[in-house]
Structure formats: C-alpha cells, structure tokens
Amino acid sequence: MKILSIIGARPQFVKEAIIQKEINKYDDIEEIVVHTGQHYDENMSDIFFKVLNMRKPDYNLGINGSSHGQMTGEMLIKLEEIMIKESPDVVILYGDTNSTLAGALAASKLKIKVAHIEAGLRQEPKDMPEEINRVLTDRISSYLFVPSEYGMKNLTKEGLTNNVYFTGDVMYDIFLEMKPHFDSSLMDELNLEKDNFILLTMHRDFNVDNKETLKTILEQLEKINREIPIVWPLHPRTASRIKSFELEYLIKDMNILEPIDYLNLMGLTEYCKKIITDSGGFQKESYFAKKEGIVIMPDTSWRELTDKKINLLANPNEVYEKTTEENNQVFEENIYGNGDSAKQIIKILYNDFIN
C-alpha cells in the first residue's frame, strides 16, 4: 500500500508527525511526504521536523507568498506531477489550507482516493478561505475522518454519510505523546509567573489585513497588557502588517517573540492563565491543557468548546472584556476522543486496501 501525505502549514506538521509514527508500524505501507512550502519561515516549518523526529519530506515544493488563487494553482500543477509519478493508493490531507484543497483537486482528477483528516468542520463566515477549502475537500474525499460529534452532525446535515468515521482528533494524540517533552524554559527567560500571563497567537486575514481592525485589537491587547503580561510569538504575516500599518507603538511593552516550536508553545500554554488566539489548532491545544481560550473570530469550527463556555468568541472590540472576566469553567474530558485517532485512521485505510 502506498500513501502520499501532503503538508504545508504548522498544524499539519504536528498531525503528520503522529500519523507518520503509526504508518511506520506497518512493514507493507510506503509513505511519500510532500511539503508544499506554504509556511516557509524556519521556526514555522523546519523546526517541527527536528523537534518531532519526523523524517524530511520526499518533496518540498517551496510554494508560498502569493495570492490564494496563484498559490493553489501552482500547488495543483506540482502535486499532479508528483501523483502521476508516485501513483499512490490514497492521498492523506489535513485541515483546511490551500495545500489541502490543491491536494484534493489533484488527486480527484487522477481518480486517486482522498482521505481528509479533520473533516466535518464548519464555521462562519462562509467566504473565509479556510471554510471554502474544508467544504470543497469534504465533497471530494473518499474517507472523512471526523474529530468530534459536532463534525459528524455537520456531515449528516449535508448528506455526506459514506465512509465517515468519528476517530477523535490526532491533535490530542500528539499532545499526549509529546506532553513529557514540553519545554517551559521560556518561563525563566521571560521572568514569567505561573497563571500570571496571557499567551497570544494571531494571524487570520480578517484580524490583521485591515488597519482599523488590527488597530482595535492591538489597543485591546495593550489594555490587557497593563494588567497582566502578554506573551506573543508573532506570526510573520501579522508582523508584516503591524509594520506596514505603523502600529508598532501598540506592542512595544509586550513580550514579543519570534515564532516558536510546538514544544515551547505547549510549555508556555501549560503555565499561562488564558490564551487569546484566532488559530483553529491552538483553540483545541489550550483545551487539552485545561486553559480557557478567547477566540478572536466571528465563529469557530470548534463549537463544542464555545457551546460549553470553555472558549469564548470575541469581536475585536471585546477582547479586553472577554479576557479579563472570570469564567472558571469545568473542563469536560475526551471531547476529541481518547488519544488513539491515528491508530484508528491508519487501520481503516490499511484494512480497506489490503483486504
């Protein structure tokens, strides 16, 4: 059996790590890994191969830095060439990036089966790039591996019921696998106190690409930072927008970091008071660490967490209010499975192709 796995963005590196570990248990599965290059900053990509003991990808396309359409089109062309050359039995895709959609389109045109890990997620606004990518990929996929019961309900409403599996979330697998290795050394370097700082990540286009929106958020964050320190590993996209909009003065007193690797991020997460984010993956990772999250989005694909008030949605002008109010939510266990998602996924694919 031959699997071709496509990765391109930070959460996908993490998910591929645990899937790759499970694939390696099978002597008769060959895996080809393609890195599209969508995230090209070393701390945003290469570091995951080093820290999580992943092998280097077989192909690195180096496609990044252009518009959504151009990026997706270039990936589609290159991925089709690789699929024709490698002739895999199934293509594994993760999440909702341009890499995901390009891989799904290339495989479906060649009549290669597609396995979508993290299927069934839905959120507003419907025109956001990630939502378009995930909806179209689900329509194309031969196997839909769903991380939550909410995702199962979404697919049922849309009439997608064949080869749909509730496996839980591979992000929870990797969290449990790597927990003993989380690195909290930045606590000392930054002179931070446990439960006395806010950990922030932000990169979505609707938050950072408009000057007035970004300014509003930064003003809210500056207000929070006067009361409790903010630690912010700054995404390259966000850093570029802050500079071009001349808003650096609003973040000068925060603990601004270069992008950090998964182990350092999780090390900080374990000791922070709360997190603020617009990252889909980090919303869950904070839940795994039993930390409340303030989500700067109009909606989220992880509605289980907002429905249970574990995470709170916040508009740009609500970030201070939502962050400083006390929630003290009880954390429900195992919303995203039992930590054996990768095992279930590879077993399903293997049994289907071998039998």
Query: Which residues form the catalytic set?
Result: 203
| CA atoms within 13 A of residue 335's CA, in its CB half-sphere | 19
Beta bridge partners of residue 35, listed in sequence order: 7, 60
The torsion angles phi and psi of 318, rounded to 5 degrees, stand at -110, 0
C-alpha torsion 80→86→92→95, nearest 10: -40
What token pair was written down for 31? 């895996």
Please name the helix (run of DSSP H) or strand (run of DSSP E) that holds residue 283, with its range, or none.
Answer: helix 280-288
State the number of CA atoms in the 13 A half-sphere of 129 facing the CB: 14
* Dihedral of alpha carbons 124, 127, 128, 129, sign: positive
Q: What is the 3-state secondary structure (H, E, C) of 151-197?
A: HHHHHHHCCCCCCEEECCCHHHHHHHHHHHHCCCHHHHHCCCCCCCC
Question: What separation, in Å, do the N-terminal and C-terminal C-alpha atoms of the chain show?
Answer: 11
Query: Could you tell me which residues come within 8 angstroms of residue 230 by beta carbon, excluding any fewer than 6 positions away?
Result: 197, 198, 199, 200, 221, 224, 254, 255, 276
**Helix or strand run (H / E) with residue 351:** helix 341-354
Please give the Cα distance from 240 to 236 (Å, whole number): 6
